[in-house]
Amino acid sequence: MSLAIGLVGCNGTQSTSSTSTEKSEKSSKPNIIYIMSDDHAFQSISAYGSEISKVAPTPNIDRLAETGVIFDRSYVTNSLCGPSRATMLTGKFGHKNGFMQNGDLFDGSQQTLPKLLQKGGYQTAMIGKWHIKSLPTGFDYWDMLNDQGEYFNPDFISATDTVKIEGYVTDIITDKSLAWLEKAKDGDKPFALWMHHKAPHRNWMPDLKYAAMYDSVTFPVPDNYFDDYKGRKAAGLQKMNIYKDMYEGHDLKMSVAVGSDSLRYDRWPHIFARLTPEQRAEWDKIYRGKNDAMNAANLEGKDMALWKYQRYMQDYHAVLKSVDVSIGRVIDYLEENNLRDNTIVIYTSDQGFFVGEHGWFDKRFMYEESSRTPLLISYPGHIPAKQLNHDLVQNIDYAPTLLDYAGLEIPEDIQGMSMKPLFEQGDEKAEWRDAIYYHYYEFPGFHSVRRQYGVRTDRYKLIKFYFRINEWELYDLEKDPKEMHNLYNDPEYVEVQKMMKTKLDELMVKYEEPPVKEWVNKKIVRKKH
């Protein structure tokens, strides 16, 4: 039992029992499975066709692309775990739902997608990573990881208990999800399941059966891995460089010397301490040889920087292997139980992630690799298969889309748009937005990424960095997709700059964002609970 159990009562009794809802209503509404990972780079999904994914494919995630739609311009409103989760739940920007930075407390009493689905006749469940402080509401059943959760032998908090479960977190979440589906599928209500993986969040500890699978693979190194950040002051101030800022013990699992299993700097030693003696012995056996080779080589400078990149990629993608297998298990379950054709399956991440671009890991910036997130939606017979969508969609759009498919009213205060018209075949293309708005608030904060807001259109991106910094950045994404050349002061882009500033002002008015001058001198502090 943990102290968190003292909060029980907000959820009520966990149950999948139904009301007197007609079975005909169940058959008319799609089931929903919303699968979300944490920090999954779109570059690491083979359906997106990147060079990285060619050596580390994701065949089960690709099955969703084969049977549905994959988005290549899907973005978040704020590239940070907690704010993204709050936005997906509410269909609103952080300044509207009250959750703008990690450490905030999500107001569970407000209107959310699960509550609206629940009210509309769905049985609802959330299993896995929650990470927005307050206990889940709007779910008939929930079983969540404690805070970030652990890769091995994690604690799960339910409405009745906190239990440490031996095993690997991705497998456990999958087992729990399938067990709930096994009960829910026979109920009188359609089901909506939020399946939230911890993986591949830092510190990328693979399941033992996959921990060595990429040891012989050489991942392609981004050509801007050794970026000098010229003309981009905010980029030069960050603390998320793979070869400078990663913890050598905690993140990279580097040992102190040949023949030793003791790790170098390990900021959070309790994470490795969760392994059982048997698991730790197997872990050390897997990593000892490759660490001995690294230590014996006496790597320095550029050679060490490149070695660290390869270790990061090997572990990151070994962790993702479990996620891909999990998704395959879910799809197989639906097919085996004749549920596939009446179930919407969504796969996404709470944001994008850097996998070596600009020399970085992590997220937070409005740059493409961070703010762009994977999004695949499969609904056989309703969403045409093998679609590639180029529209500018955001995570504010998930809630209204699912409400639309469920045949439920979309509340006027939801700020997103239903994506359903984008999937319908016809001669006329559905009207859609021509720009997206972004705002990151957490500074001072981990990784020292400055506060920023901005706008992205089909071709251009404008970013304003503020608070202890006053910098603008402008990018022509058609000519410079890797965002290496800040064109803000380029005389050839004066008119583009004006146009983008006008567009930015319009979106801030549209989304009712308070004037940024109110944030400039405001110290946004983490709330204590």
Q: 104-162, pLDDT tens digit by residue?
A: 999 999 999 999 999 999 999 999 999 999 999 999 999 999 999 999 999 999 999 99
Contact at 8 Å (CB) between 469 and 233?
A: yes
Task: Report the C-alpha gap between 33 and 127 in whole angstroms.
Answer: 11
What pairs with residue 375 in β-bridges? 348
The CATH number assigned to the domain holding 475 equals 3.30.1120.10
pLDDT digits (tens, 9 = 90+) for 229-270: 999 999 999 999 999 999 999 999 999 999 999 999 999 999
Which of the four pLDDT bands, split at 50, 70 and 90, describes residue 15? very low
Domain stops at, among 425, 451, 471:
425
99 and 165, same domain (yes or no): yes
Please report which confidence band the pLDDT of residue 516 belongs to, taking 50, 70 and 90 as the band edges: confident
Residues in the chain: 529
Residue 482 burial (10 A CB sphere; 0-12, 13-18, 19+): middle
Domain that holds residue 266: 233-312
Do residues 288 and 261 lie in contact, with contact meaning Cβ atoms separated by under 8 Å?
yes
Q: Which residues contact 171 (CB under 8 A, 6 or more apart)?
A: 207, 322, 326
Place 378 in a pLDDT band, splitting at 50, 70 and 90.
very high
* pLDDT value, residue 24: 56
pLDDT at 471: 97
Q: How far apart are CA 450 and CA 464, in angstroms?
A: 10
Boundary of a domain, candidates 399, 425, 451: 425
Q: What is the pLDDT of residue 9?
A: 32
- Of the three residues 274, 294, 312, the one that is the final residue of a domain is 312
> Is 280 a domain residue?
yes
* 364 lies in some domain: yes
The band of 6, judged by pLDDT with boundaries at 50, 70 and 90, is very low
pLDDT in tens, 393-403: 999 999 999 99
pLDDT at 381 over 50: yes
Segment 501-520 shows an average pLDDT of 86
- Cis omega before residue 154 (within 30°)? no
- 3, pLDDT greater than 60: no
Q: Global pTM?
A: 0.93
* Rounded Cα distance, 7 and 521, in Å: 35
Confidence check: pLDDT of 285 > 50:
yes
The per-residue pLDDT for 201 is 98
Mean pLDDT over each residue of the chain, to the nearest integer: 93
Are 107 and 170 members of one domain? Answer: yes
Number of domain units in the chain: 3
Tell me: do 327 and 299 sit in the same domain. Answer: no
